[in-house]
Structure 1
Amino acid sequence: DNVIEQISLKDPAYIIYTSGSTGSPIGILHAHRCLSNLIQWELHESGIQGGLRNLQYTALAFDVSLQEMLFSLISTGTLYLLSDEIRGDMRRLETFLIRNKLEVVFMTCSALSTLINFSDKIIEKASLKHIMTGGERLRLSGPLKKLLNKNSDITLYNFYGPSESHVMTSYPMNRKLGNLLPYPFIGKPISSIQVYILDENIATVPVGVCGEIYIGGAQLAMGYLNRSELTEQRFISNPFNPGEFLYKTGDIGRWSQEGNIEFIGRRDEQIKIHGNRVELREIESMIKKYPDIIDTAILVRETTEGNNELVAYIVGKSVKIDKLKVFLRGRLPSYMIPSYFVPIKRLPLNPNGKIDKKSLPIPENTLVHPVTEYVAPRNEIETKLTAIWQEILGKKRIGVHDDFFKIGGNSLNAISVITKAYKEFDIELSPNRVFVTSTIAGLSSEIEAINWVSNNEPSGSFEEGEVDEVTI
């Protein structure tokens, strides 16, 4: 006979893995109550209607994918699945959103910014009603703000929550509410969630005063898989509710007079890159394993589009940056590979003997990579491509033979290049072409070849299924 087991809300439901300072991924164990509470809140209190057309954008390795699937199905909505090819191609994603009249999407801040910056049609033709974002600090500007100002029926939700809790707070915004701020709040706690902002003595701080964010309640994880010591360190007893626990996030925030939380930054060296949580010490530890590296420091800088980029300052003897990057690619995921490598003689120290990161040179004014001989654009296509690269990478001097990834490009930048090239040249290119042909000269040659084929196609047209009659 089949045995039907009774599953309780306290039983384990899933494990999500995230970056750890030791160099090994950390498994976070969640109970069924986490997803149950989140979906119940989304159904009844979030303001997001059921029965809508929902996009399944997030990859299955991330907990948001569970939220997308469960909310759509439980709310009697329709779930639209994406292939990896469409997920990485903003032009095809734009078409997919418009053609299927999708109404609910959840994207990281970086991905959402890339899509909206690329797409003019979404502002005019999309059927969007609810856009949820999170994973990074949200910056509301440019086309995204234009989209919300032009479409008063669209609500943008800024979600906050580490992997140890999933979504803990929400800040809805739209034109009608009049709260389209450049750096929006992360909002108020959702139902059955407690958020505290505490000082170093685990005491609450007054409104407007910065402190560390601690979280508790129904969505708190059960702990780290097979890491009892780390669990005891990060999940502390709740002094305000005996018998319960709080998670020490490492995030700094403060309460507003209206009861919203303003996110200030990180207390430690952990940040978000393209929606992925990254421990800077983990990257530093891996770089130090490379031969001839004496010391290193990793900094984060914000691009003009509001995304985070990694800068590695390295002290060493005749370090070959190309070989170092190959070494790192075999040991770290792509989002943890620094965009810039700055060789320096020594790391500056402050009077306390700690690294003075404010004194480290700015990458744009420093030789950050072995460079090829500078060659200026030689034709109209190269000139337009150079302008696109300059805008995306934030650099003024880029030669047509410079390698995209050696001068600070990454996979998300590559998608931006392809989408802007499509708008400029009306030519379809795969994002993979930037990886294969990583110079302006190479991409220009590809565009010229596509143009030549298009201009020299045989005259006349054929209906699908027709074949010329051939006499042999």
Structure 2
Amino acid sequence: MTETLHSEFIAQAVKNPDATAVYSDAGVLTYGELNERSRELAERLLADGAGPGVPVGICVERTPDLLVAVLAALRTGSCYLPLDPNYPADRLAFMVQDSGTRLLLTTPASRASCPPGPTVVVLGGTTATEPGAEPVAVVPEDTAYVIYTSGSTGTPKGVAVRHAGAVAMLAEMDRVLEGCDLSGVSAASSVCFDLSVMEVFNALCRGGAVVLVESAVHLTESRYADRITHLSVVPSVMNGLLDAGALPPNVRSIVFGGEALRRKLADRAYRETGATRVFNAYGPTEGTVFCSFGLVPENGTDEPTIGPPTTTDLVYVLDDGLRPLPAGESGELYLGGVGLAHGYVNRPGTTAERFVPDPFRDGERMYRTGDVVRFTEDGELRFLGRSDHQVKLRGYRIELEEVEARLTGCPEVREAAAAVRGNRLVGYVVPAGEGAPQDGPRLDPALQGAITGRLAAEVPDYLVPATLVFLPALPLGPGGKLDRDALPEPPAAGTDGPRSAAGTPTEVALAEIWGELLDLDPSGIDVQSAFYDLGGDSLLLIRLARLMTRRFDRRVRVPDLFSFRDIASLARWLDDDSGATPEVVESARQRAGARRAALRGRGAGR
């Protein structure tokens, strides 16, 4: 059998059909069951037109059906296109149209989220077929999946990744993670984030179990959290989990990625968890998940590097003339080797710009990452920053220009800029018409709600600013260009305008908790303001749930806090001894999709 992203899973299923492959609150599947269900679905997809070179959209919620769908698409020779049902309809429609997807897998629960156009196959209606050999031969150069990343022009780009690169990535993980307990691998990243490939297939291709959860924020909500032995996580998410004491109890190895890792956090991971090995990984989607991967030594004193280059990737640190730089000198990082993606879907110009001829290997290409690094004397890579305006936030790669393009596309906005402040994406807006402030930065909850409401219907939540700061004009440098360093810190929320003060004892208690978490004066908190409007985020929600559970002697889960967005509704819920859901919550739940723009952090969860 040709070695592909999924071939080792099939071998494991034949060898150990009764072993558990997937733990999920929505169901548990053995290797044999996952193998058979994906085989049956693959037969059905072939009859509907799937095959080599044909993209198959996967619009499925985070249940075992998601893995059934991904494996079925791969078994037909198709590449899979992940479509998160929580993404805005316009974003999903663009990804389907741009990629040429004509066949889409979904479930009854996610059917309404599917964009129009493709032929839709709904899971659950497969017909049993006789077991047989794999119906389609797949070669290493075939595309395994297409993942869309943020684009600097405001348009996302689809990265086409080869089976060969994915197989090499898994082989490199075998080498780096040798001796780690992979019996329970957490899968908390969105399927639209390439870390999910490492999480899912590192387990399924090596005989371990995938512990499928909604996101890293929901780790402790899973009834199978104690089965997690290996965790991949974004540093900012890990900080929140540690602050809340919300790590699964049996984690023995941790892989950080997606953001800069600091020594302080690595030390906390060793000290406050049962992990005996902590790793730091780096890599863009264009290089198949990661291109450097290294152990962070315990009790070290230096800031962690991003590890040595993998043995399967070619890594160059070059100057502006594409000349190699010695250790200690900084330059741009370029990637080559088996992990290099095909390029961008339907973007020949952008592909040619970023995938350039490799001057050291005739006929080969290398990818210019835009990241500035240097080699250490020990042969490891130290990340220094970006050469453009791309940032990483909760593991997601964000082009600030895309956020700015989306903001200026709103009728309420004349000019816009974006920046990251702490763990928040902040938008800076000069309002259109007469709405611009006359002096200094200000907040405007009503105007922010109108603008972010538009964005939430157009882009994934990680591209929607958590805070909008309204300015009379954007700061400009001497050359007339935006001076990003001069963008101000957001003003404190809730300091102006009329407020609804806490009245009932429960509201007062909640205001005290919110004040503690958000570093605000409890007496100044408006009970009608949403948690995220006051500076909260998905990481703080974990701690909020824990503090409320202890304070009110009633179990409060993170999903409850997605439904009750302000102190007033939370207090009514807590005061309802029957536990019944008040009508106001039903209304809040209907708005939850848009409101999660600032509440849900995946990045681990992507």
Range of TM-score over shorter length: 0.7 to 0.9
Structure 2 equivalent of residue 170 of structure 1:
293
Structure 2 equivalent of residue 309 of structure 1:
425
1:33 aligns with 2:164: yes
Q: Is the partner of 2:221 in helix, strand or coil? A: helix
Q: Which of these residues, 411, 435, 449, is aligned with residue 318 of structure 1?
A: 435
Query: Which one-letter code corresponds to 2:225 in the other structure?
Result: L
1:402 aligns with 2:529: yes
Q: Is the partner of 2:574 in helix, strand or coil? A: helix
Q: Is the partner of 1:89 in helix, strand or coil? A: helix
* Correspondence list, 1:172-211, <5 A: 172-175=295-298, 178-179=299-300, 183-211=303-331
Shift of 1:128: 1.7
* Correspondence list, 1:259-408, <5 A: 259-302=379-422, 307-316=423-432, 317-318=434-435, 320-364=447-491, 372-374=497-499, 377=502, 381-382=506-507, 385-390=510-515, 392-393=517-518, 395=520, 398-408=525-535
Taking a change above 3 Å as real, the CA distance of residues 57 and 131 of structure 1, as seen in their structure-2 partners, is: same
Taking a change above 3 Å as real, the CA distance of residues 73 and 436 of structure 1, as seen in their structure-2 partners, is: closer
Q: How many residues align?
A: 435
- Matches of 2:322 and 2:551, distance apart in 1: 55
Q: Which of these residues, 211, 232, 257, is aligned with residue 80 of structure 1?
A: 211
- Matches of 1:208 and 1:147, distance apart in 2: 29
- Matches of 1:113 and 1:349, distance apart in 2: 35
1:135 aligns with 2:258: yes
Contact 1:154-1:174 at 8 Å conserved across structures: no
Shift of 1:345: 1.1
Structure 2 equivalent of residue 462 of structure 1:
none
Contact 1:50-1:75 at 8 Å conserved across structures: no
Q: Which moved more, 1:228-237 or 1:64-73?
A: 64-73
1:89 aligns with 2:218: yes
- Matches of 1:121 and 1:31, distance apart in 2: 34
- Matches of 2:154 and 2:306, distance apart in 1: 30
Q: Is the partner of 2:295 in helix, strand or coil? A: strand
Shift of 1:376: 5.4
Shift of 1:281: 1.0
* Correspondence list, 1:103-252, <5 A: 103-119=229-245, 122=248, 126-141=249-264, 145-149=267-271, 154-165=276-287, 166-175=289-298, 178-179=299-300, 183-252=303-372
- Matches of 1:328 and 1:217, distance apart in 2: 38
Give ranges in structure 2 of 5+ residues lacking alignment. Answer: 1-131, 437-446, 581-606
Contact 1:372-1:402 at 8 Å conserved across structures: no
Give ranges in structure 1 of 5+ residues lacking alignment. Answer: 454-472
- Matches of 2:401 and 2:357, distance apart in 1: 27
Taking a change above 3 Å as real, the CA distance of residues 151 and 89 of structure 1, as seen in their structure-2 partners, is: closer
- Matches of 2:573 and 2:487, distance apart in 1: 39
- Matches of 1:354 and 1:89, distance apart in 2: 42
Structure 1 equivalent of residue 200 of structure 2:
69
The Cα RMSD (Å) is 3.1
Taking a change above 3 Å as real, the CA distance of residues 89 and 179 of structure 1, as seen in their structure-2 partners, is: same
Query: 1:174-221 CA distances to partner (integer Å, 9 max, x unpaired)?
Result: 42xx3365x521111111212222222222233333222111111110
Q: Is the partner of 1:257 in helix, strand or coil? A: coil
- Matches of 1:15 and 1:121, distance apart in 2: 31
Taking a change above 3 Å as real, the CA distance of residues 241 and 79 of structure 1, as seen in their structure-2 partners, is: same
- Matches of 2:453 and 2:495, distance apart in 1: 14
- Matches of 2:491 and 2:462, distance apart in 1: 21
Shift of 1:81: 3.0
TM-score by length of 1: 0.82
Contact 1:55-1:106 at 8 Å conserved across structures: yes
- Which structure has more RCO (C-alpha within 8 Å, separation ≥ 6)? 2
Contact 2:216-2:237 at 8 Å conserved across structures: no
Quote the sequence identity (%).
Answer: 28
Contact 1:377-1:383 at 8 Å conserved across structures: yes
Query: 1:137-176 CA distances to partner (integer Å, 9 max, x unpaired)?
Result: 224536x63340356752111110111111111121242x
Structure 1 equivalent of residue 124 of structure 2:
none
Structure 2 equivalent of residue 470 of structure 1:
none
Contact 1:404-1:438 at 8 Å conserved across structures: yes
Q: Which of these residues, 34, 53, 61, is aligned with residue 184 of structure 2?
A: 53
Q: Is the partner of 2:164 in helix, strand or coil? A: helix
